[in-house]
Structure 1
Amino acid sequence: MASKVVPARGMRDILPVEKARREHALHVIREVYRSFGFDEVETPAMEDLSRLESGQGGENEKMLFKVMRRGLAADEPLLPADVADLGLRFDLTVPLTRYVASNAASLRMPFKALQIGPVWRAERPQKGRYRQFVQCDIDIVGEAGTLAEVELVTATHTALTRLGLTGTTLRINDRGVLTGLLTGCGFAADDHGSVLITVDKADKIGLDGVLAELRAKGFAEESVTALEKSLTELLPLTDVAALGTGVLPDAIPAGSIADLQEIARALAVSAPDLDVRFDVTLVRGMGYYTGPIFEMSLPGGGSSIAGGGRYDNMVGRFSGRDLPAAGFSIGFERIIDEISVPQDAAGAIALVHPAGADAGELLRKQRELQAGGARVALVRQAKRMQPLFDALVAEGYSQVVRARVDDEGVLEFSDPSPLTAS
């Protein structure tokens, strides 16, 4: 028996109906982001391995797809670390910072970039999680103030609303809040990364799970207990305006609180229907974030559908010149099932014809119908027409034109009529 032919593990084929949905979403996202002044750029799928393993990608660096160097001799003894020199990008932010460093002389600052493309992570495949997926990013490089964060969130909220995704919630935090909290609880600076990786799991394993994992990692009990006390007190605190009332530990920088409040005040004007909430356990797994961070979710909670934050130090790592930067990424694969594709105003017509019909006449009629702006597909008639009609309706066709050969061998066409499924 022949083996089943399937895509590589963690990859998938996109069928026409889903492809149409994806292209509709991409069109709307591009249109909205361009209306906010973002310019679309493109970066290579591969980057130097040293750049992708710079320590800024958090857990994603462990899921790199590495590319072997060309010209390796089959019998040359090499360590695994010496075999690869390139890797497939795991996000669009690291390539963008290299792009800005490479092309700084040609870019007007602040630079507002839109980037859409596939990324790859060697994750364990599961429902809704693939090894290749699309990201939609907007970034503002060269703007140090909170105007960048407010515009990123407003533009993304507008795009999602245009796609019919309303009632969204924005959770915000600041890396300064997190590092100040950990410092106040007695965690050494070198341990902050490991602690935050665990805190980032709070929405999945709960506070008890976070504390148990920190103890399993061997952190001092007094620090874990202090963190438990702080998180227990701060988790109910969601009103950003209330952050300045002295409820946060003294080790948290006042500037971080001021930034969050400034962002919330501005969003109340630019996106008044967006529910903005403070979440002390929001971490964002990437190691490159330096300031405000945020995630957006749909009503009912669940996984976030967009996330981002400020990453002021990344461009300087590649260029030697520090540039402030912030970005927001839509979880494209997570929104696809939540949207619907509007019916084409001009209609989609199935021109159903018998086998052997005159090709010239069929194409003439097709062009005639296309002149009105319709999408017209030539479809060969089947022995059982209703299953064919069902399939066409599922693909978005709303009308049918029937072709038949009369007694004199002339090809005749019916008027367009509604196409209905059984």
Structure 2
Amino acid sequence: MASVNAPRGMRDFLPSDKNRRERVLSIIRDRYRAHGFDEIETPVMEEYSRLHAGIGGDNEKLAFNVLRRGLTPEKVAAAADDQAGLTDLGLRYDLTVPLSRFYASNRGSLPGVFRSIQIAPVWRAERPQKGRYRQFVQCDIDIIGDATARAEVELLAASLDVFDALGLTGAVIRVNDRRALDAMLDVFGFDPDERPGVLITIDKLDKIGPEGVAAELRERGASAAAVDAFEAFLGRDRAEPDGFGERQIRAALPEGVPDDVVAHLVGIGEAVGAASLEFDPFLVRGMGYYTGTIFEVAHPSVSYSLGGGGRYDGMIGRFLGQEVPAVGFSIGFERVVDLVEIAEGEAAEAVVLVHDKDVPLPELLHAKAALVAEGKRVRLEQRPKNLKNLLAQAEADGYAAFAALRAGQALADLELKPLG
């Protein structure tokens, strides 16, 4: 018998799950809109050449590609080694590449500084495992056209507001700057051509520790003197307390990092509030298109990040032919939704109208319409032999009350009773 399960790495959502997800999404959407961001929508597919233009990092390897229309099995077999010849479209693997194309296509209709919201599914050919799916929702906000620190400050302030509204108090945003990372690697003496691999290893610092990072860098064949200098820096005594002021940031970096980069970071901390930020000189973020400030959200309840982003000033120029500053922030919705406790306000307005089999249809619809007019959400159910099971299922689906309707019963006599 053929499988009736959803494709691996993709999921069905029952009504109660879908209701919960939509309520969390509505909070995210409402708070971002309150901060002046406007929602857009882009197609689920983009051209193959755009998705594989070298701006999507490792995600390009995980793209689901769509075969060209009209291809026969013989043509597919003959061109098996030519992906570009087989495909002309692909499912989006993130929302940043589509946004960049969207802005290049619609710039004339958009404000000079454009603040966008995109909330939509994306697809990656991941190896399915706990917390990692092939289809998942991203919640992105981006500011295009503002090269100043104001853009970062707006993103961070709006996102911290979202986490507070979701009840995830205590969220801290870890911040770094790719320019600081580049300067640090230059100070230690890493060659430019080996830096991409060096950053991949540095990104593992939280997992394998300083000794593990140094060992892996040596295994990679990185410059020995640079590795020694980096290892000595990791092993230094840190007398300065944690924080996000100029003193703390400079103490966390080697001498030689440009003053303007430090001043940029300090300005963000002063505007957003140092208590909500943490400077992390070894935060890398895997995407190669980041050009400046980068950030990730940490929460004390979990060991993984709940979102992140950064500045990607070079990407839109690939489509537009001229440089346009841009910075974005993405909430990891699939990680966040399971942590959020939703208030039961909506459930209180959800009613199951249980009716006897002989209730005439006009009476039934009249009773339902009266409840709907009161602002209730109403589900009709014919009375079964076992009412208890029906009500238990309704409660699991998010309903909070029920009413029993008999034939000829006056609406004034319709009594709402709580479930549970």
Same fold, TM-score > 0.5, yes or no? yes
Per-residue CA deviations over 1:242-296 (Å, capped at 9, x if unaligned) read: 245566223422222111111011011xxx7x53111122111111111111111
Secondary structure at the aligned position of 1:75 is classed as helix
The match for 1:313 is: 314
Q: In the alignment, is residue 195 of structure 1 matched against residue 194 of structure 2?
A: no
Q: Which amino acid aligns with 1:167?
A: G
Partners of 2:405 and 2:133 lie apart in 1 by 44
Aligned to 1:417: 416
- Shift in Å, 1:356: 4.9
Q: 1:307-355: CA deviations, max 9, x gaps?
A: 0111111111111111111111111111111113322366211111233
Tell me the CA shift for residue 411 of structure 1.
5.2
Q: Which residue of 1 aligns with 2:43?
A: 44
Given the superposition, is the C-alpha separation of residues 415 and 203 from structure 1 closer, same or farther in structure 2, using an over 3 Å criterion? farther
Partner residue, 2:255: 250
Summarize the Cα distance change of 1:107–1:31 in structure 2 as closer, same or farther, 3 Å threshold. same
What residue number does 2:108 align with? 105
Deviation, 1:232, is 3.6
Aligned partner of 1:399 in structure 2 is 401
Corresponding residue for residue 344 of structure 1: 345
Q: In structure 2, do the counterparts of structure 1 residues 224 and 11 end up closer, same or farther at CA, with 3 Å as the change threshold?
A: same
* Deviation (angstroms), 1:3: 4.3
Q: Unaligned stretches of 5+ in structure 2?
A: none
Identify if the C-alpha distance between structure 1 residues 401 and 234 changes in structure 2 by more than 3 Å, giving closer, same or farther. Answer: farther
The answer to whether the Cα contact below 8 Å between 2:140 and 2:331 also exists between their aligned partners in 1 is yes
Taking the aligned partners of 2:381 and 2:215, their CA distance within structure 1 comes to 62
Q: C-alpha displacement at 1:237, in angstroms?
A: 6.7
Which deviates further from its counterpart, 196-205 or 274-283? Answer: 196-205
**Partner-residue secondary structure (3-state), 1:337:** coil
Q: Of 159, 166, 169, which aligns to 1:163?
A: 166
- SS state of the match for residue 134, structure 1? strand
Greater Cα shift, 323-332 or 57-66: 57-66
Which residue of structure 2 lines up, in the alignment, with residue 132 of structure 1? 135
Do the aligned partners of 1:238 and 1:279 also contact (CA within 8 Å) in 2?
Answer: no
Paired residue secondary structure (1:96): helix
2-side partners of 1:148 and 1:83: how far apart?
41
Contact kept? 1:400, 1:419, Cα under 8 Å: yes
* Aligned equivalents of 1:13, 1:189: Cα separation in 2: 46
Matches within 5 A, 1:246-325: 248-268=253-273, 275-325=276-326
The question of whether the paired residues in 1 share the 8 Å contact of 2:249 and 2:279 is answered with no
Q: Are 1:397 and 1:419, in contact at CA under 8 Å, matched by a contact in 2?
A: no
Computed over aligned residues only, the root mean square deviation of the Cα atoms, in angstroms, reads 2.1
The AA in structure 1 aligned to 2:102 is Y
1:243, 1:257 within 8 Å by CA — same for their partners in 2? no
More displaced stretch, 217-226 vs 142-151: 217-226
Asked if the contact 2:204/2:213 (under 8 Å) is kept, the reply is yes
1:164 is paired with a residue whose SS is: coil
Asked if the contact 1:237/1:279 (under 8 Å) is kept, the reply is no
Counterpart in 2 of 1:357? 359
SS where residue 113 of structure 1 aligns? strand
Shift of residue 366 of structure 1?
0.6
Cα deviation, residue 365, structure 1:
0.5
Q: CA offsets per residue over residues 156-183 of structure 1, 9 Å max, x none?
A: 1112211211111110001011111112
Report the residue type matching 1:385 in the other structure. Answer: L
Aligned runs of 1:114-133 on 2, under 5 Å?
A: 114-133=117-136
Letter in 2 for 1:400: F
Which of 241, 244, 259 does residue 240 from structure 1 map onto? Answer: 244
Q: Displacement of 1:412 after TM fit? A: 6.5
Indicate the residue corresponding to 1:57 in structure 2: 56
2-structure distance, mates of 1:295, 1:332: 14
Q: Which moved more, 1:326-335 or 1:71-80?
A: 71-80
Q: 1:222 pairs with 222, 225, 248, which one? A: 225
- Give how far 1:86 is off: 1.9
Q: Distance in 2 between matches of 1:27 and 1:254?
A: 41
- Check the 8 A contact 2:250/2:262 in 1, yes or no: no
The 2-side partners of 1:207 and 1:355 are apart by: 72
Distance 1:148 1:246, change over 3 A: same
Q: Are the aligned partners of 2:306 and 2:332 in contact in 1 as well (CA < 8 Å)?
A: yes
Cα deviation for residue 138 of structure 1 reads 0.7
Aligned residue number for residue 13 of structure 1: 12
Q: Give the 3-state SS of the residue equivalent to 2:290 in structure 1.
A: coil
Distance 1:244 1:339, change over 3 A: closer
State the alpha-carbon separation in 2 of the partners of residues 119 and 90 from structure 1.
Answer: 5
Alpha-carbon separation, structure 2, partners of 1:374 and 1:113: 33
Does the CA-based 8 Å contact 2:188-2:226 persist in structure 1?
yes
Change (3 A) 1:232 1:14: farther
How many pairs does the alignment contain? 412
* Structure 1 residues 238 and 96: alpha-carbon distance in aligned structure 2, compared to 1, 3 A threshold: farther
Matched residue, 1:32: 31
CA contact (8 A) 2:405 2:414 kept: no
Following TM superposition, by how much is the alpha carbon of 1:397 offset from its aligned partner in structure 2, in angstroms? 1.2
Q: Which residue of 2 aligns with 1:80?
A: 82
Asked if structure 1 preserves the Cα contact closer than 8 Å seen for 2:252 and 2:281, the reply is no
**Counterpart pick for 2:96 among 93, 97, 102:** 93
- What percent identity do the matched residue pairs reach? 47
The amino acid of 1:153's aligned partner reads L
1:53-108 per-residue CA deviation (whole Å, 9 max, x = no partner) reads: 22222221221111112222432321232212222111111111111111122211
